[in-house]
A and B are shown apart, each in its own frame.
Chain A
Amino acid sequence: MSPILHLTAFGQRIKTLRRERKWTQGQLAEALAKQGVSTTVSYLSKIENAHVEAVPSEDVIRGLAAVLLESADELLELAGRIDPRSLQAAISEQPAAAGLLRRIQNGDVTSEQLRRWLRETERNVRGSDADSAKR
């Protein structure tokens, strides 16, 4: 998903959850303040309408998850923000991932190589999904 699609889906989800709780944007800002997360109504209105230039910080997303009673992982994923904790957990489970990241860090892998590898992986995943569906 492109960054703008992530932001649109995330903003829409926040708006829906807030309205389900019958809160105004001001009430949401107050609830966040009680969690120690400082935002403004103006910023929240931009998040909801995908008018932010960057993905909200992890603290803001976790605060939103806490007050809107939603899974933080789900909101982080929707916003397209990588959660360092989940990333670390994934690397611990997949030692090869650490090797790959090191090679990226050292500049051994180009962006084009990475994109090609991601495309191929996606094709393989789709192929195995289709095979399972046939069975």
Chain B
Amino acid sequence: MQIQPNVSYLPDAVLEARASRLIGRYGQAYGALSEFPVPVERIADLLLELDLLWEPIPDTPETWTLAYLDPAIRRIGLNETHQAHFDTFFGTYEFTLAHEIGHFELHVLDAELAPLPLSAQPGEDRRGYLCRSQGRAASTAQPYDRRELQANRFASFLLLPEDLLRPAVRGLDLTRRPDLDKLRRLCRVSLEALKIRLQGLGWLYVAPDGALYHSEAEAQGQGRLF
């Protein structure tokens, strides 16, 4: 995967601090968060005053779109054509909102916004972030926009802050699927998003074959047994 070169690099520590600061701002306005789930819809709608609109967003033959951010009119558009996808895949709605919030918090000053394929008044040029399905976009040979990766990382930090996760995992065995399922339902995220975050924190190791271990060392130890 090629990374688009002309976008600033933001290390994870910065993305995590930005997500944490936003949670702090929400806490000041609406009361501190002490448990999951992180109310991303309330953060987008009430704190940041981003308008949420369900509308049909045209797909292309290669990619389909879940949402877009139009910073000029402070709007997150959600593709109602894919409502069933949001309903079926647990955590997709929350992750999509967190991703768009990420663009809003990290990238709105960026001048290189893409044209939005939406109806506009004559002479109106609507630009923003069109967030296509990650699987298909990542599989193409086109350079992958670094901002999309940053928005995903930001979403992970926003939905799964370490200070809320630490007490939530107490007593759970993170290598056991039922425990992971319980945790992801509590946090309202997909299993994949949860595993990535736990691995980032060093609390879980996912082997290339998908097997789960408490650490990489444990995985290597297991490997040496056979």
Provide the residues of chain B in CB contact with A51, threshold 8 Å. Answer: 53, 55
Which of B42, B49, B51, B54 is close to A42, meaning CB atoms less than 8 Å apart? B54
| Known contacts A42-B54, A42-B83, A51-B53; 5 further A-B pairs (Cβ under 8 A) | A19-B46, A45-B51, A49-B51, A49-B53, A51-B55
Task: Please report which residues of chain A, range 10-62, place their CB below 8 angstroms from some CB of chain B when the two chains form the complex.
Answer: 15, 19, 22, 24-26, 41-42, 45-46, 48-49, 51
**B83 adjacent to A48 (CB under 8 Å):** no
Q: Which residue of B lies closest to A50 (CB)?
A: B53
Q: Which residue of A lies closest to B51 (CB)?
A: A49
Q: Does B148 contact A (CB under 8 A)?
A: no
Binding site secondary structure of chain A: helix
**A45 adjacent to B52 (CB under 8 Å):** yes
**B51 adjacent to A41 (CB under 8 Å):** no
Provide the residues of chain A in CB contact with B46, threshold 8 Å. Answer: 19, 22, 24
Complex CA–CA separation, A51 to B52 (angstroms): 12
Which of B45, B55, B83 is close to A46, meaning CB atoms less than 8 Å apart? B55
**B53 adjacent to A46 (CB under 8 Å):** yes
Task: Please report which residues of chain B, range 30-74, place their CB below 8 angstroms from some CB of chain A when the two chains form the complex.
Answer: 30, 41-42, 45-46, 49, 51-55
Complex CA–CA separation, A129 to B106 (angstroms): 52
Complex CA–CA separation, A25 to B78 (angstroms): 13
Number of interface residues of B (CB under 8 A): 15
Provide the residues of chain A in CB contact with B41, threshold 8 Å. Answer: 24, 26
**B83 adjacent to A25 (CB under 8 Å):** no
Q: Which residue of B lies closest to A22 (CB)?
A: B46
Q: Does B80 contact A (CB under 8 A)?
A: yes
Provide the residues of chain B in CB contact with A45, threshold 8 Å. Answer: 51-54, 78
Which has the most chain B C-beta neighbours within 10 Å: A19, A24, A46, A48?
Answer: A24
Provide the residues of chain A in CB contact with B78, threshold 8 Å. Answer: 45
**A24 adjacent to B54 (CB under 8 Å):** no
**A19 adjacent to B45 (CB under 8 Å):** yes
Complex CA–CA separation, A35 to B52 (angstroms): 24
Which of A19, A22, A46 is close to B49, meaning CB atoms less than 8 Å apart? A19
A-B contact pairs, 14 of them (CB 8 A): A19-B45, A24-B41, A24-B42, A26-B41, A41-B54, A42-B80, A42-B83, A45-B52, A45-B53, A45-B78, A46-B54, A46-B55, A48-B51, A51-B53
